[in-house]
Chains A and B, each alone.
Chain A
């Protein structure tokens, strides 16, 4: 989230789209209710009338996979009706920047498309620059090639009638939502978006979010109280696990993973550190070399020296363009190239899209290590339905680990708050904390490598002293390493730091090896003041719910990021009644400012608010994504319509489509005529592997169900409560039918399309006959930027069982 949970109360208009917050983040509704108590409204846009919809002032239905059409119509409405915030748009966004002459868009394709490679040459999306290298601009926002005019042109096709034809939303409902939400373009109004997998799990997932980011920047909702772009993340520490980079493409703190053509640290730093000549751009990423070098010092400790490039060569390198993300991982596993696998606190046999492929892939492994607190469909895959244990050679180790209350450490919520939590009891039986398991395992591996083996240096040179006096994993030692230390005596300004002192904050990290830091965005979390993540002070000086001394948030405890956009060029809040920040008596008052520099009116020292963009401004036109600089509606890979109503380009032209025997997909086919989506219930969590073993929770939600409309039920002769089968070209699942008015058929022009929905929290291991995973049905196709699978829009059939 750019903002945080409590901040929702500051909003005048809460849009929940691509999320069912009431069911899946129930406590968030406490803050939505406070917003409503203060006169705000709640809008719910969802294919199904959900628990969130039941609390909403406005509900609008839309067909799964058509969010860009919906939001594109809103962008058109905002521009046509002059609802955008002019001073904000002019000063804080790239609306005035002029595009290069070669930029074009025609009938669903942007300029530079290579149909053989199914990718874009993005060079035609580059901005025009003047002879000084500065971005060419038209501050009157009239030049036909300026971003704002190109935005207007792009979305001119997204009329309410065309949008309705695609989404199935009645025009009147579209206009209701557009009118209500665009009112937050006013200086003293704040609109917030709460979204989740309903936006990310699509082949256009990133562009869904981009569309809303454009809306939020047009309306001046970024950086203000009650505004922002707020992802409701799904796991207690998925924010932390992303920050600590348990992903192939990043290193801790979102540094990009190194690639093979960047042979040296210098080449890496040069390639990954953007430059700008824009006078008032902070270009914070210019500091990347300080963070990468400090990270290497944390990896290799004293073994990382200037002479050996700080151990850069020991880090594994991806081939240029190599993509090792989830869908490719399981494709390689199915192909037999992956021999050993750790499923550590995760259940891919139920969470992976096209789960049959995942389960077959597991059977090809030589060895599998499964760490969990309960038995699960992954560790026990070899005795699952359809499996013949005699023919499965995989050696499986199931290691029992500690539950959350049986160890100490920090986790980071969706609002970037890192909160320390404590151990109540020892883990039961043989169970161990995951940290202990990692320490013991790696100690054994390192011992073995002392006697020889392939390329032992990185294994042996790893700094691996994160244990207490008894040899147990010590979270405090790691937390301090994440924060960082001075590795030499360093003088910074007036202050003298000694070797071994914690680094106070990332502004003092160095690129010369004199600091170590496991994760620059967590620098300050555990410094000389102590463990800031363990703080519990309830002061709230602004009254806006910042709670600056409760726990600690990244970066540098800044609670609302981009908050310099909440003030005008003089540093005065757009809305004095909800001031996150204010410049008074030569300093900032309120939240930690998103850059300490004076306001923009100080031409020399003032800085633009979007400090992580090289040019300092929010990108309405975004030339860096793989599928285009403006979001464009494309149909999901599996969809119910024969063509895309808005252009000749049917599906996202840049997605990777796997072509193997297990990679089946089928679109607009009478055998699978209904749109399906997946969702969750409050009582279960993710694959259900924790919650299905709990009697209290399984009693409340005992078995797999499918929700379908009365009209569809009539079509198939299905009665409420009957056993049914739902199938896609990839698999079949049995369920109980819930016939409901919460789903209504969609009218797409002349076509009537039915949609159904189901939870994905069940699996064969428990309860008996409780049902199987909905992921047996979902397609293994992903967004071209993130490769997140399209689990929210695919085609199925439903019949009586």
Chain B
């Protein structure tokens, strides 16, 4: 094909395989146009942010590239500067892209299921949080235990329980446990227990 190995690596690294193949004399016509339009130029202009993989607890570094026009994540890849993974990722981390809005399965609406119903209804945040807050208060007011059978002050609520989550950030977790304990919950558990 008249191209050295070094040239091939340089070419494919710079432009992506579609264009590299075209340089090698393979007619990639429409593919080349598609690739060039969609990803390559957008990657060059993308905003990069650092994240840590949300799966196991190795804590690999990942770089997200966000297209500044569409505000969508267009690429995720291993962070070569991260001392633990040095750019490598397992299958799950490598697929992080599919946890984002790019996956149409993402929950995007507040849903409510009424007693006895077999379907979801769409609701607003305001309505849902109002209802939940009312239920928290009603349950807490009805079942709060000030003193136990020995007459000791316990100020606890056993009628509401909570599980979750090892997937939340430290700051969210600290605030959540403060909130739950202020409400008097003792049935507070999560993945660490199982």
Contacts and interface: CB of A to CB of B under 8 A. Distances in A.
Interface in A734-782: 766
A341 B162 CA distance: 6
Interface string A256-298: 0100110100000000000000000000000000000000001
Given A409-B170, A438-B179, A242 B192 contact: yes
Contact of B182 (A403, A458, A550): A458
Contact of A414 (B59, B100, B175): B59
B189 interface: yes
B71 A425 contact: yes
B129 interface: yes
A308 to B, nearest CB: 13
Contact of A421 (B51, B88, B181, B190): B51
A686 interface: yes
Interface residues of A, number: 171
Given A238-B191, A454-B140, 18 more contacts: A27-B89, A236-B54, A324-B189, A337-B159, A338-B161, A340-B135, A344-B162, A397-B128, A405-B99, A406-B100, A409-B171, A424-B64, A429-B107, A435-B172, A441-B179, A444-B132, A448-B137, A461-B182
B72 interface: yes
A441 B159 contact: no
B109 interface: yes
B110 interface: yes
B99 A403 contact: yes
B58 A246 contact: no
Contact of A393 (B88, B115, B185): B115
A93 to B, nearest CB: 28
Nearest to A235: B166
Given A392-B116, A424-B51, A466-B175, A413 B59 contact: yes
B3 interface: no
B129 A482 contact: no
A398 interface: yes
Given A237-B169, A316-B156, A455 B161 contact: no
A547 B83 CA distance: 8
Contact of A433 (B61, B112, B136, B172): B172
A389 B83 contact: no
Given A373-B107, A519-B174, A342 B164 contact: yes
Given A329-B187, A413-B57, A422-B49, A691 B182 contact: no
Contacts of A786: 193
B178 A299 contact: yes
B98 A389 contact: no
Given A245-B177, A246-B190, A316-B186, A430 B125 contact: yes
A672 to B, nearest CB: 22
Interface string B106-133: 1111111111111010000100111111
A721 interface: no
A27 to B, nearest CB: 5
A237 B96 CA distance: 16
Interface string A690-717: 1101111100100000000000000000
A695 B97 CA distance: 11
Interface in A421-456: 421-435, 437-442, 444-445, 447-449, 453-455
Contacts of A393: 115-116
A345 interface: yes
A631 to B, nearest CB: 21
Interface string A364-391: 0011010111110000001100000111
A587 interface: no
The B interface, classified by DSSP as helix, strand, loop or mixed, is mixed
B152 interface: yes
B101 to A, nearest CB: 4
B1 interface: no
The 7 closest A-B pairs by CB, nearest first: A429-B108, A345-B165, A409-B169, A413-B59, A235-B166, A344-B164, A316-B156
22 contacts: A5-B59, A25-B58, A27-B88, A236-B57, A239-B57, A324-B188, A326-B193, A338-B160, A372-B107, A392-B115, A394-B115, A397-B110, A397-B132, A413-B52, A419-B52, A419-B59, A424-B51, A431-B106, A433-B172, A445-B137, A449-B137, A453-B141
B66 to A, nearest CB: 5
B86 interface: yes
Interface centre among A434, A440, A540, A696 (most CB of B within 10 A): A434
Contact of B120 (A333, A345, A398, A417): A398
Contacts of A252: 174, 177
B51 A438 contact: no
Given A241-B165, A409-B170, A313 B153 contact: yes
B107 A398 contact: yes
Interface centre among B47, B55, B103 (most CB of A within 10 A): B55
Interface string B76-90: 100001011110111
Interface in A239-254: 239-248, 251-252
B173 interface: yes
Interface stretch (B11-19, B23-31, B36-44, B143-151): B143-151
A668 interface: no
Nearest to A538: B83
Contacts of A508: none
B91 A683 contact: yes
A298 B179 CA distance: 12
B121 to A, nearest CB: 10
B188 A248 contact: yes
Contacts of B113: 382, 394-396, 398
Contact of B111 (A247, A398, A519): A398
A466 B170 CA distance: 13
A429 B85 CA distance: 33
B73 A405 contact: yes
A343 B164 contact: yes
B108 A430 contact: yes
Interface string A453-473: 111001101111010000001
A85 interface: no
A314 B155 CA distance: 7
Interface string A675-687: 0000000111110
Interface stretch (A141-149, A347-355, A492-500): A347-355
A442 B181 CA distance: 12
A383 B118 contact: yes
Contacts of B59: 5, 236, 411-415, 417, 419
Contacts of B100: 403, 405-406, 425
B151 to A, nearest CB: 10
B17 to A, nearest CB: 18
Interface string A317-349: 111001011100100110001111111111010
